[in-house]
Structure 1
Amino acid sequence: MGIRKSNITPSINVDDMLKSAEISHEIEAEKQDVDKLLVEIREAKETLLKIQQDLQNVIKAEDDVTVALKAAIDSSDNIINGICNAIVKAERNTQFKATIKSEHLAQLQQLLDKAIETWKTMLENHCSKQAKMLTEHEFNMRKILRRNEGIWFSDFWMKVLGIFLFVYTVTLVLVAYCVT
């Protein structure tokens, strides 16, 4: 579409003008976005440079601490070796004198007597507890037998039962063998 003023002046194309204005507006907006991004990138770069410097300082401090720790380890090893050598010398050069007096033997005898008395009382308590448990067990067995609970065979009847079962099994085997 074109607007004409007169025959002498050329026509103005409004669509092209709007498109060019729109394009220039978009370019301006993108420039502003790019400027903002550049500012953010510069700030990030400065922050990264500060972090890098801090890391270098930390690495240097770590190296200093490592050297100090190695020196401390070496000196502690020397101290430990010196202490061990002093202990060994003291053990070699020290003589112990041991004497046993009759008073000490009497004290030892008293301690042994007390220990023996303690063991005797403990053994007597144990025996009395066992006797009590045995009496209770016998009482329970009598009660069971009085009520005819359970089964009890004398030696004679157990022998008779065993012989009967043996003869029965042998007979059964022979019958099965003869049948087949």
Structure 2
Amino acid sequence: MGIGKSKITPSINVDDMLKKAEISHEIEAEKQDADKRLTEIREAKEALLKIHQDLQDAIKAERDAAMILKTAIDSFGNIINGICNAIVKAEQNTQFKATIKSEHLAQLQQLLNQAIETWKTLLENHRSEQTKMLTEHESNMRKILRRNEGVWFSDFWMKVLVIFLFVYTMALGLIVYCVA
């Protein structure tokens, strides 16, 4: 439908103008929605990277603690030998003779074994906590993916998307230029 002013002035096509305005409005709304979703995706990605780094740091700390505990367990034998050697030297260099009964050594060995068992249980508790945290993290990731809050684009598909949007924008620009 056109509105004619006079024979000299060309007629204005109102339907085409309304359609163009609606299309422009729809495109702008879709762009805003896409920008919003991309922002949400970036925020989720940053949060996941931070959680991943925290988990790696915790695993490294656990490994360090395990190595320290293993070293301590290995050095207990050296400690007992050192104590025995010190006692022998003390007996040889003093006029008083000290005697250590085998039951006292057995008590010392029992205390050392209890200490080792305590450290082992602490290490096992720490590992179970780490496993629990990892399981909780995996559960949270599954929830995010189930609600379609997280989107993953591989490098290839991201390139395809960017090229498509570029071609689409150029084609749309050409159409607008040719029509105007």
TM-score range, shorter chain: 0.3 to 0.5
- For CA contacts below 8 A with separation 6 or more, give which structure has more relative contact order: 2
Task: Determine which structure has more spread, i.e. the larger CA radius of gyration.
Answer: 1
TM-score w.r.t. length of structure 2: 0.41
User: Structure 1-normalised TM-score?
Assistant: 0.41
